[in-house]
Amino acid sequence: MLKKIKGDIELIGRHLEVLSIVAQHQPIGIIKLSEVMNVPQHRIRYSLRVMEGLGYIRASPTGAVATEKADELFTSLDTDIEEIIVLLNGMRSSIQKT
């Protein structure tokens, strides 16, 4: 059960890393992203598609660019991650007590 969640978290981590690099180096294309991250192009393409579908990036003639929605995500990212950590620690504590 938790193996799937771990895989999802790893995938989200890759999506966020792609988004971060796009924001830092925009506009940037798939090939350059693949080189910077040392990740196969098909995985970069998938992450870009997901991030575009969620509205965090948009395609431009010269490569991907971050949107205002990406800025909003990065502004609250540390807080959001901390909230998830608190939930997981709570889960751990409740399981250890039983």
What is the per-residue pLDDT for 97?
Answer: 62
The CATH number corresponding to 2-97 among 1.10.10.10, 1.10.3720.10, 3.40.47.10, 3.40.50.1820 equals 1.10.10.10
Task: Give the tens place of pLDDT for each residue, 36-57.
Answer: 999 999 999 999 999 999 999 9
Helix, strand, coil % in the chain, rounded to nearest 5: 75, 10, 15
Q: What's the token pair of residue 61?
A: 């003639």
Distance CA 12, CA 47 (A): 9
Look at the block and give the residue holding tokens 């990740």: 39
Task: Note the residue count of the chain.
Answer: 98
Distance CA 82, CA 54 (A): 22
What is the per-residue pLDDT for 1?
Answer: 76
